[in-house]
Amino acid sequence: MTQPSTPGNEPALYVVATPIGNLGDMVPRAVEVLQTVDLIAAEDTRHSSRLMDHFQIRTPLVAYHDHSDERQVQSLVERLQQGQNLALISDAGTPLVSDPGYRLVRSARQAGIRVIPIPGACALIAALSASGLPSDRFSFEGFLPPKTGQRLNRLQPLAAESRTLIFYEAPHRIEDCLKDMGATFGASREAVLAREISKTFETIRGGTLEELQAFVAADPNQRKGEMVVMVRGQDKAAEQTLDAEAARIMTILLESLSVKQASQIGAEITGLKKKALYQWALEQQEHRG
């Protein structure tokens, strides 16, 4: 068996996953790397210092987050070019998955620096593995916009998606999020809410979007903590087939209008559901593309 790569003579940037809740999920290799690198770039040094204390890691910490400017990125890359080993961590889970790190990793690679992933916890994968939803194909959509109008605009193009959809959401927006998902995907669409994964109050609850919304609304505790929302993709077998006249009308509308506008006007003309027309229009675009 090949021995795991740990800091040595060749400088490298280690992308290190950390626990999302239970500290027992910290892998030994991650501890070893964090103990032996020259510097750790952390999303929040105060938050990460608790993890360092628990595992007796004395390596210096420096802040690196979404608001870090290019000078900070260049400073870290220069350290790597000078022969130092660096580790990148986020507050929890795998860095770069809805967390900062993309610019640093890209700059390091462009500078010819080796980038080494240290696998570990990832909330979206953990949630998906326990959801019971199809996991052979999925789409991670990250955090949705905080405002309703922008959120609906992001959700609408996903209504016809056949893959399982995975979202992160903040606790104070979870009710509005589920409501907007129900309005866009249909209240009867199957979904799973995973909350506080690997923590004391871990909850994984499945049902329709309507049922999940009611569940969250009825219990204030379900509006606390870190959340992953997973929505089953559109069942292709259940798609509505347009008759020749409806297809002709939609084809004409799509020549000069967006999919959203054509679906809305098409629904008014034909009496068919806007969602079905929207889905049909997307499929036509895919076939032509």
CB 114 within 8 A of CB 10: yes
Q: Which structural domain, as residue segments, surrounds residue 144?
A: 124-237
Does residue 1 lie within any of the structural domains? Answer: no
Residues 159, 257: one domain? no
User: Please, what is the average pLDDT of the chain?
Assistant: 91
CATH code of residue 193: 3.30.950.10
Structure token pair of residue 266: 């098409």
pLDDT tens, position by position, 150-196? 999 999 999 989 999 999 999 999 999 999 999 999 998 999 999 99
Q: How far is CA 32 from the centre of its chain?
A: 28
Residue type for position 79 = R
Does residue 3 lie within any of the structural domains? Answer: no
Report pLDDT for 45: 95
* Cα–Cα dist 25/46, whole Å: 20
pLDDT tens, position by position, 228-250? 999 999 876 445 567 788 889 99
Looking at 121, 151, 168, the residue that finishes a domain is 121
Does residue 91 lie within any of the structural domains? Answer: yes
Please enumerate, as own/partner, the contacts of 49-58 that have beta carbons within 8 Å and a separation of 24 or more.
51/18, 51/19, 51/23, 51/26, 54/23, 55/26, 55/31, 57/31
CB 166 within 8 A of CB 228: yes
Report the number of distinct structural domains present in the chain: 3
Does residue 4 lie within any of the structural domains? Answer: no
Q: What does DSSP say about strands 190-195 and 164-169: parallel, antiparallel, or unpaired?
A: unpaired
Residues 233, 252: one domain? no
In 3-state terms, what secondary structure has residue 24?
Answer: helix
Report pLDDT for 3: 47
Report pLDDT for 66: 76
Structure token pair of residue 131: 């959801």
Looking at 52, 87, 121, the residue that finishes a domain is 121
pLDDT tens, position by position, 196-230? 999 999 999 999 999 999 999 999 999 999 999 99
Does residue 62 lie within any of the structural domains? Answer: yes
Does residue 84 lie within any of the structural domains? Answer: yes
